[in-house]
Structure 1
Amino acid sequence: MSATDDQPAPEPAPVDEQAATGTNQTAVGERSKRKQREGVREAVAKRQNRGRRGDNEPREGGESTEDRRPKRKVGCLIGYCGTGYHGMQVNPPNKTIEGDLFEAFVNAKAISQDNATDPKKSSFMRAARTDKGVHAAGNVVSLKLIIEDADIVDKINALLPPTIRLWGFTRTTKGFECRKHCDSRIYEYLIPSYAFLPPKPTSELAQRLKSEAAKYPGVTRDDPEGAEFWAGFYRSLAEAGLDESDVRALVDEVAPPAKKDADGIAAEPLTTAVPASMSEEHYRRVKQIRAIENAARRAYRIAPARLELVREVLKKFEGAHKFHNYTVGKPYSDPSARRFMKSLAASEPKLIDGTEWISIKIHGQSFMLHQIRKMIAMTALVIRCGAPLSRIDQTLTNIAVNIPKAPSLGLLLERPVYDNFNDRLKTFGYDGIDFDQYAPQIEAFKMKHIYDKIYHEEAKENVFHGFFGFLDNFRGNVHIFDYLTAKGVSEKTEAVALDAKLDNDDDESDLVGDTEG
């Protein structure tokens, strides 16, 4: 009988439980470390293999098979002509500057197909939003771009229309936001010098200015230069055998009433069309009168004293003020109505194709919707109507007046300014956001695609004459322009003007943000 079958099995040797536990823990720890090392090696391998994946090999989670390329946060310096565009910001289905720009980025492969449908995925942001038809010699958009190609700027420009240009880009920090880090913005407004002439003596506004001056003598300024201009015009009519009063009466009789805009003033400028019911003889005389008046406006050259007065008015806007009267829908109590204007300056006159133009530069920290256009209109109206310069000061206090907005035709964004952020960029070894390095290209672009369009459209359409001509002949609420007359404003008329503005304000469709447009 074998011991295996008949003898009891020997007792197992005693086990050292503490030693066994230590051995097991060591084994578990080694396995854990081994798994960690394997995980690290796998992660490294995945990173190294990115971009080398085969075209037919899908990514995990159903991602695109497109090669992944590094993206860098940049500030793109751009310029554009706003003609034909519904503003800067993407606004489907309308054609916008950002829409064409983003499409060019994608087609140039500066933005991957993974991010091609949503600008937010690339952290897209603009420094200043501009309204419909407004131009920009310089603007900035910040986003993450693929910039490996040395000729990426040329590739993008080749895909853009000639009226939109990418001047270049600057590497920035990851946290850069071109709107948030912008110190200030510089705008330019081009206006013909004849816009500062007084209203035609036969116009509604001129008659009201005259009657109020008789009631409140010594308040408004005399304007011998303006009076001589209109005297010369009437002499030219007489030499041509024309009498404006007869033709004016006929036009008033058959012309349709004008519509009001969001400000309750002018939906459209004074039309240059002649009513169909007018006889051929009167039609000929109207054309002659308009031709003589147009020639007189083009021949006008602003006097040094009047230009200096323009500059004095512009200085009134400098500093921190409540600009509630220079936008839409903001009361004096709204904190956001407070803005800081660094400087406003008018250039020396420049003769372009027979018309004298003045460039007005406006440098401010930030702007509200229509603010610049209303500031320009107010400046011109104070000069034209001989109103005291103190009326500008009044509009910046707790009163409400209805200020029309000047035509968008003359407005362009000159550039955003990044002085403080540029100092930070230099500490990281990056160049600052600087438009000066592209000055020759920008000036050539402005002349061809911005200035020439402004000059041509004014010569063809008489835009500024249409705007001021409508105001001069406005026959609605006769008190709406009391603030320009010797009478001035009162609490009663202020309240009426504000209520009318708010009740009729349908301009929200054009509201594109807290920047001028």
Structure 2
Amino acid sequence: KRLPKRKLALLLGYRGANYYGLQKQSKESDLPTIELALQEALNRAGAVHEGNQGDLSKIGWSRAARTDKRVSAARQVVSAKLEVENDDVPALLERLNGELPDDIKVFDAVRVIKGFNCKQSCDRRHYTYLLPTFLLAPDEAIDAAFDAVAQRLAPHRAAPTLLERLRGFLAAYVGTRKYHNFTNKLKPTDMAAQRFIVSFTADDPTYPSGDAADGAEWVKLDVVGQSFLMHMIRKMVAV
């Protein structure tokens, strides 16, 4: 029999190394994605009626943001109309996590209004990049053979003045601007190219090896924005 449907927002996190991004590919594709793994786990957990399985649009699926191939998320939100036995959301959450692979976890499930849409309700997205500081070295220090260059430049340490210069460049992104040059198929006159950046910062350097004298130095970049275009963040970092 059909169980009552409830609109739920799912708060999850995942390690994206084994996936081709968050968004499910075409129906014919069997490429592993986070949404495909979630869909299959929800089916096995009894949260989706047989007639609606295989098509996320039938359960009102929405996502707050997207991540690309091999990209991880500390927190992400998706929502859907799910069947909840006895209105016991915690029990459904426990079953769902029992069906998910170890690199995906749903931390919470919350009842929301019927018209809730993750993408429309999200007021900002926050992405983090790790940048090896040897990439801030002068252009003449960068060789065509990148692997050899990386080994040769691993001992490079960014001077405080260079880091402040980087922070100045990142701060220039803050505010509302047109980003038609940071994505595909948009003109300067397209309002869709306009985006609002809340903050873009660079932390002090860190050393993954744990030893400042051994290996490459890295700096973490944090960008918070209302929304982002395809390829926009990677091009912001590249510039």
TM-score (norm 2): 0.88
Amino acid at match of 1:188: T
Distance 2:47 2:135 in 1: 46
Percent of aligned pairs with the same amino acid: 38
Alpha carbons 2:59, 2:81 under 8 Å: kept: yes
Structure 1 position 86 matched with structure 2 position 23: no
Deviation track 1:224-253 (CA, whole Å, cap 9, x = no partner) reads xxxxxxxxxxxxxxxxxxxxxxxxxxxxxx
Which structure: greater helix fraction? 1
Tell me the CA shift for residue 318 of structure 1. 0.6
What is the deviation of 1:120?
Answer: 1.6
- 1:321 is the counterpart of 2:177: yes
Shift of 1:112: 2.2
Q: How does 1:67-466 map to 2 (within 5 A)?
A: 67-92=1-26, 93=29, 94-147=31-84, 148=88, 150-201=90-141, 290=148, 294-353=150-209, 354-378=215-239
Answer whether contact 2:13 2:74 (CA < 8 A) is retained.
yes
How many residues are treated as equivalent by the alignment? 228
Cα distance in 1 for residues equivalent to 2:164 and 2:90: 50
Structure 1 distance, partners of 2:98, 2:139, is 48
Tell me, in whole angstroms, the C-alpha distance in 1 between the residues paired with 2:151 and 2:53: 53
Amino acid at match of 1:326: F
Deviation at 1:203, TM superposition (A): 5.3
Moved more, 126-135 or 339-348: 126-135
Describe the SS at the equivalent of 1:83.
helix
Instruction: Show structure 2 runs of 5+ residues with no match.
Output: 210-214
SS of equivalent to 2:140:
coil
| The structure with more radius of gyration | 1
Structure 1, unpaired ranges of 5+: 1-66, 205-269, 273-289, 379-517
Letter in 2 for 1:130: T
Report which of the two has the higher share of strand.
2
- In 1, distance between residues paired with 2:60 and 2:230? 24
**Greater shift after overlay, 312-321 or 126-135?**
126-135
Amino acid at match of 1:87: G
The TM-score normalised by the length of structure 1 is: 0.42
Secondary structure in 1 matching 2:235:
helix
Indicate conservation of the 8 Å contact 2:63/2:79, yes or no.
yes
Residue 90 of structure 2 contacts residue 109 of structure 2 at CA under 8 Å; is this kept in 1?
Answer: no
346-355 or 305-314, which deviates more: 346-355
Write out per-residue CA displacement over residues 239-283 of structure 1, whole angstroms, 9 at most, x where no aligned residue.
xxxxxxxxxxxxxxxxxxxxxxxxxxxxxxx575xxxxxxxxxxx
CA distance in 2, matches of 1:375, 1:189: 11
Q: 1:144 to 1:201 in 2, by over 3 A?
A: closer
CA distance in 2, matches of 1:295, 1:122: 50
SS at match of 1:68: coil
Note if contact 2:89-2:109 (Cα within 8 Å) is conserved in structure 1.
no
- Does the CA contact (< 8 Å) of 2:5 and 2:83 recur in 1? yes
CA distance in 2: counterparts of 1:150 and 1:344, whole angstroms: 37
Tell me which residue corresponds to 2:212: none
